[in-house]
Structure 1
C-alpha cells in the first residue's frame, strides 16, 4: 500500500522515510499542513510492531498537530516524527544526530520537539545537526519554576485546566472528591496526577511501567489497577495519557466514566467512536484541544513572550473546552466534529 492509499493520509504535504545504516535510525517525518506557518510537532520513539503501524501513527499525529495549533490560535502548521525503536534500549547519541540531519532536510518547514521516548538531551543532540529543533532550552515556565525546555509541565497543566472545565460543565462543581482514572503516568500523566491530587480529586492509576505507578501510590495515595482494566473502573473522568487508540470497539462499551479527557493523542481509534460516545451521553474532550499546552509552551519560548502570557493562553484551554461542549450539546453533535469545524475554519482557506 502506498502512502497516498493509506486510510489516514489526509492531503499531507510531505511524508519522508529515513534510514541511516550507521546509527540504525529508521524514522518517518510527516508534514500535514503549513497554511498557518511552518509545521511543528514532537518526535516519538516507540517499538512499533512494523513500519505500517509507525506510518499510521505519524500520519494521524501530524494531522492532529495541525488541528491543535489552529484551535489554540497559534500561527503554525502541523507535523510529527516517529523513530522506530525502544527508547529504553535502542537510543544512542548517533541515532539522535542522524535524526537531526533528517529534520534538516525539511529546511525549516518542520520543527521538531519532544514527545514520548524523547528527552531534552536528545533534542540537544539533534540541534547539533539542525537549527530547526525546539525545546532544547526554555526562558521561563508558566508557574515560575525552573525551566529546562521540556513542555510536559505545560501540557499537564493544560489538561488539568481542561478537565476542570469539563467537570464544571457536566456537574456544576469542582474537582473535590471526584474520581479520576489516569491511564499512563509518564512525563505528562504523573504531573497531571499531582495537579488533580492537589485539587482534591481521588486518583485511580495504571501504567505498564512500575516507576510512575509507585510514585503515584506513595505521593498521592492513588489506587492502582491493572493497565487492562483502567478504562473499566467506576470514575467521574477517564483520562487516557498513554498511547493512542484508547477509545476503540473493545474498550468503549466498558467505559463507565461520564467524561473522557486526557493527554494522549489520537484517543479515538476511528471517527465513529466519537459518534458512539455522543449517543451514549459520554462527554469526550477532543484530545488535540485539551493537550495543546505543549505547543503553546514551545511557541512562547520561541517568540518574545512572558510566563504570564503563556499561562494566560494555557488557561484559555478551559474556555475552549467549555465552548466546544456547549456547542456540542446545543447542536447534538459529537465534540470532535464541533472542534474540527472550528479548527478547519482557521487553516483551510
Structure 2
C-alpha cells in the first residue's frame, strides 16, 4: 500500500465505520469527497477508499492542482438508513477524524453527500469545501463536473471521429444523478441522439426526449460513446465484450474493475477516456474558487483545459502503443516527480 495515512475508526456518536485515506500530499493538501454508501462489509468500503484516493492523486496532478488525493468513506451496513439525527452524528464523526489529521486532508461532496452536509462537517473542522454559496462556499460542483465532461466528450469525438461536433452523435448516458442529469441536459442542447438509464425509475422524469431503457440495455446500447455517470466498476472482463460503442467517456469514478481491463478495451478498439481526467471539472472549480480564491472565469478556463489534457493523453497513448490509462498515469507520475 502506497498511501501516506489510512484511518479506520468507529464513530464515537454514530458507531459506524469511518474511513479516511490520504494517498499523497506531495503536491499539497490531499483532497477528496466524503462518500456515504452501503457496503457488504466495512472492508469493502476500505477498498473503495484506497482506490478512490489513489485516483484522486492522479486527477489532481493531471488537472494541474496543487493537491494530492484522499477519500472519506462511511460504510453503511446493508439495509441501514440514516434519519436526520443519525446523519448529523455521522457527519460530526467525519469532521472529527479529518480535524485529527491536522490539515493534511480536506473533503467535499461525493456519493451520498451534498453541499449542505459539508456545512455540518464544517462545524467540526475547517478542512471542507463545496459548501453552499450562502454559507461562504463554492456551491454544488455537479454542473461544473458536467461542463468538464462535455469538454472531454468533444475531445474524444475529435480523436475518434475526426470532429468535436456533438450534434447527431449517439450517446448512451448511464446514470442520471446530479452530474448525469446535467450531462444529459447539455448533450440535449447540443442536439445529440440520447439513450439513457438509471437504476432509480423516478429519474425517468428528467430523461426528456431521450430514449429510456434499462441500465443493462444502456450499457450495451449501440452508440458512438458510452457515458458512465453513476457508480464505478461497470467495465469488467464480462461486460467489455458486450459493449457496442466506439468510445467510453464519463464522470463515474473507478469505471474499470481492474487496471488490466483497460487492455481489453484497447484490444477491442474501444477508446476509453480515463475517468479521473473526465470528471475533474467539479474539483477544479471548487478548489480554484473556494481554496485558492480564483475568479469564476479563471476556474472556467481551467475546466475547459480538460479537453487539451485528454487530447494529449490520447495522442501519447497512440504514439507509444499503450492504453490511455497507462499514458495518463505516466503523465501524472511526471508531475508528481
Question: Are 1:90 and 2:78 an aligned pair?
Answer: no
Question: Are 1:308 and 2:297 an aligned pair?
Answer: yes
Q: Which residue of 2 aligns with 1:5?
A: none
Write the distance in 2 (CA, Å) between the matches of 1:236 and 1:53. Answer: 33
Q: Secondary structure at the match of 1:236?
A: strand
Query: Of 102, 110, 113, which aligns to 1:115?
Result: 110
How big is the shift at 1:102? 1.5
Q: How does 1:268-287 map to 2 (within 5 A)?
A: 268-287=256-275
What's the CA shift string for 1:66-108, capped at 9, x where partnerless?
A: 0000001011110001111289932521221121112111111
Instruction: Could you tell me which runs of 5 or more consecutive residues in structure 2 were left unpaired when the two chains were aligned.
Output: none
Instruction: Could you tell me which runs of 5 or more consecutive residues in structure 1 were left unpaired when the two chains were aligned.
Output: 1-8, 140-146
Write the distance in 1 (CA, Å) between the matches of 2:13 and 2:125. Answer: 19
How big is the shift at 1:21? 4.9
What's the CA shift string for 1:131-172, capped at 9, x where partnerless?
A: 111111349xxxxxxx86111111111011101110111112
Question: Are 1:328 and 2:301 an aligned pair?
Answer: no
Query: Of 46, 55, 61, which aligns to 1:64?
Result: 55
| TM-score scaled by length of structure 1 | 0.91
Question: Are 1:27 and 2:18 an aligned pair?
Answer: yes
Check whether the contact 2:20–2:70 (CA below 8 A) recurs between aligned residues. yes
Check whether the contact 2:151–2:306 (CA below 8 A) recurs between aligned residues. yes
Query: Of 305, 312, 337, which aligns to 2:326?
Result: 337
Q: How does 1:170-181 map to 2 (within 5 A)?
A: 170-173=160-163, 174-181=165-172
Query: Of 186, 192, 196, which aligns to 1:195?
Result: 186
Q: How does 1:39-50 map to 2 (within 5 A)?
A: 39-50=30-41
Q: How does 1:195-234 map to 2 (within 5 A)?
A: 195-216=186-207, 219=208, 221-234=209-222
Q: Which residue of 2 aligns with 1:143?
A: none
Question: Are 1:169 and 2:164 an aligned pair?
Answer: no
| TM-score scaled by length of structure 2 | 0.94
Check whether the contact 1:87–1:118 (CA below 8 A) recurs between aligned residues. no
Write the distance in 2 (CA, Å) between the matches of 1:22 and 1:346. Answer: 40
Between 1:247-256 and 1:80-89, the stretch displaced more is 80-89
Check whether the contact 1:45–1:87 (CA below 8 A) recurs between aligned residues. no
Indicate the RMSD between aligned Cα atoms, in angstroms.
1.6
Q: Which residue of 1 aligns with 2:230?
A: 242
Q: Which residue of 2 aligns with 1:106?
A: 101
Query: Of 132, 139, 148, which aligns to 1:137?
Result: 132
How big is the shift at 1:305? 1.0
Q: Which residue of 2 aligns with 1:4?
A: none
How many correspondences in the alignment? 329
How big is the shift at 1:229? 2.5
Check whether the contact 2:138–2:286 (CA below 8 A) recurs between aligned residues. no
Question: Are 1:295 and 2:283 an aligned pair?
Answer: yes
Write the distance in 2 (CA, Å) between the matches of 1:88 and 1:49. Answer: 11
Q: Which residue of 2 aligns with 1:124?
A: 119
Check whether the contact 2:175–2:230 (CA below 8 A) recurs between aligned residues. yes
Between 1:277-286 and 1:323-332, the stretch displaced more is 323-332
How big is the shift at 1:282? 0.7
Q: Secondary structure at the match of 1:33?
A: coil
Check whether the contact 1:46–1:87 (CA below 8 A) recurs between aligned residues. no
Query: Of 133, 145, 154, which aligns to 2:144?
Result: 154
Query: Of 10, 14, 17, which aligns to 2:5?
Result: 14
